[in-house]
Structure 1
Amino acid sequence: MVKSRKKFSIIIPAFNEEQGIIPCVEETKKVLEGHDCDYEIIIIDDGSHDDTFSVATDFYANDGRVMISRYSPNEGKGFALRHGFGLASGDLVAFMDADLDLHPEQIMTLYQYMIDHDADVVIGSKRHPESIIDYPWQRKVLSNGYYFLVRLLFGLPVMDTQTGLKLFKYEALQAAMPKLLIKRYAFDLELLVNIHKQGFKIVEAPVNLSSMRLWYRITLKDVYYVWMDTMAIFYRNYILRYYD
């Protein structure tokens, strides 16, 4: 069992997750309490069209460790994570998706990697040799293509920027967040580029991921906007030197 004296802030962006948000939070609580961790869980309702906010608010009305915030309209996952970080008080901050494709038990795997490698940031990686992944081949093609593009353009010391489970020391996020402009598609990349430029150590950890839902959420329009956001980061990084 991994135990920590540090406080975890778990930020969960949620868009139209009225069916899944309670199981997600309950599993996360079970993991953290099972490891005797101090924690807070921050749910960010990113302009949902369903009853995500009311379902979560009603269920956790008397739970001081679960915070729920919402805004409208939908602004994108990156915006939700930045908003959630503004509410966080933990020494360690985890980003986690609401769909349970990546079980919250893996937060503790990332934390162990942080200790073992003396890292400031640990990101779940589908390309880690010990990862177990089961998701559509089309999604794998896109993921592999994006990896080679990112490696070519930015030289980051990681193989996967997009997996939805990441753990940060608070100070690494605090240093990087003020420079971020992307709200939706390439937020993870912009964040990691900034953290790397400021000298924080990033390592990757294996994940166990099983999902059929990911492919259906990605359209050609999404691919186009990921490309445009990525090129915008390249322009700001190398031409404008905005991140320096």
Structure 2
Amino acid sequence: MHPYISIIIPAYNEEGRIKDTLDSIVDIKEINEIVVVDDGSSDDTYKIASEIKNDKLKVFKLDKNRGKGYALNYGLRISMKNADIIGFLDGDLGKSAKEIRKLIVPILDGEADVTIAKFPPAKKKGGLGFVKGLAKQSVLEMTGVELDSTLSGQRIFKKEVLEKFDEIPFGYGVEVGMTIDILKYGYTIKEVLVNMTHNETGRDLKGFIHRGKQYYHIKKVLGQKKKEWR
């Protein structure tokens, strides 16, 4: 019997990309269910997603913007009912979302308990590498495992891995914190090179503020994990 695979897509103001994202994955035969959680968008994200007619698709809208962590936990309450394998996918990947299949195959083949998407190098200049470097070093320091894509939100999990968490942590340090926990529990993670693209954060004020928040959250999560795992 084939495992039941559910993909959760938290989406906030993605009216320009959500249709392409969903159209690109609805026909992937391994995927049984796609749970879209509109995180209180002020645009037509929910309307556009709801108009796509496909039995795999379940679309929900939160009453207000509550953040990615909340939206993922909302989706998990639905996905955990039936799924053996659960994936997280961003809503802004557009047509490149079809690359999710590359993350599913190693799980089905028993090569890993979790897969993480490794993106090609960014096309436009982003930050100075401080956040990515901190994330990589934090995971290596805590687990002895070197990973390049600890910040990537595109991930596939065996259900048993997610059952270790009462809920997905909130904040920008969520991926780093979860990666540390997963490795400390003894599960295996495989990074998979994908040709995905999404909205990149540039070298403007908004971009630097975003990365500043990321850096702060990762430092905070690292402090927490050092206490939890000592």
Query: Would you say same fold, with TM above 0.5?
Result: yes
User: Does the Cα contact within 8 Å between 1:133 and 1:210 map onto a contact in 2?
Assistant: no
The answer to whether the aligner puts 1:93 opposite 2:90 as a matched pair is no
Structure 1 runs (4+) deviating above 6 angstroms are: none
Q: Distance in 2 between matches of 1:39 and 1:50?
A: 28
CA positional deviation for 1:65 = 1.8
CA positional deviation for 1:144 = 4.2
The worse-fitting range, judged by mean Cα deviation, of 92-101 and 141-150 is 141-150
The answer to whether the aligner puts 1:207 opposite 2:188 as a matched pair is no
> 1:171 matched to which residue of 2?
160
CA positional deviation for 1:100 = 1.8
> 1:26 matched to which residue of 2?
23
The worse-fitting range, judged by mean Cα deviation, of 213-222 and 161-170 is 213-222
Q: Distance in 1 between matches of 2:36 and 2:128?
A: 29
Matches for 1:9-24 after TM superposition, within 5 Å: 9-24=6-21
> Closer, same or farther in 2 for the Cα pair 1:143/1:135, shift >3 Å?
farther
The worse-fitting range, judged by mean Cα deviation, of 141-150 and 36-45 is 141-150
> 2:97 matched to which residue of 1?
104
Matches for 1:24-173 after TM superposition, within 5 Å: 24-30=21-27, 32=28, 36-57=29-50, 59-60=51-52, 63-88=54-79, 89-100=82-93, 103-116=96-109, 118-126=111-119, 132-139=120-127, 141-142=129-130, 144-151=132-139, 153-155=141-143, 157=145, 158-173=147-162
CA positional deviation for 1:156 = 5.7
CA positional deviation for 1:109 = 1.3
Report the secondary structure of 2:92's partner residue: coil
Q: Structure 1: any 5+ residue segments left out of the alignment?
A: 127-131
Q: Distance in 1 between matches of 2:226 and 2:194?
A: 32
TM norm structure 1: 0.80
- Structure with the higher fraction of residues in strand conformation: 1
> 1:231 matched to which residue of 2?
219
Q: Distance in 2 between matches of 1:116 and 1:64?
A: 26
C-alpha offsets along residues 87-116 of structure 1, whole Å, 9 cap, x if unaligned? Answer: 102211111111126723322212222345
Instruction: Give aligned pairs, total.
Output: 225
Q: Structure 2: any 5+ residue segments left out of the alignment?
A: none
CA positional deviation for 1:120 = 0.7
TM norm structure 2: 0.84
C-alpha offsets along residues 65-91 of structure 1, whole Å, 9 cap, x if unaligned? Answer: 211122133222222212211110221
> Closer, same or farther in 2 for the Cα pair 1:229/1:155, shift >3 Å?
same
User: Does the Cα contact within 8 Å between 1:102 and 1:208 map onto a contact in 2?
Assistant: no
Paired residue type of 1:55: I
> Closer, same or farther in 2 for the Cα pair 1:13/1:198, shift >3 Å?
same
Report the secondary structure of 2:78's partner residue: coil
Q: Distance in 2 between matches of 1:225 and 1:170?
A: 30
User: Does the Cα contact within 8 Å between 1:162 and 1:188 map onto a contact in 2?
Assistant: yes
> 2:176 matched to which residue of 1?
189
CA positional deviation for 1:147 = 4.1
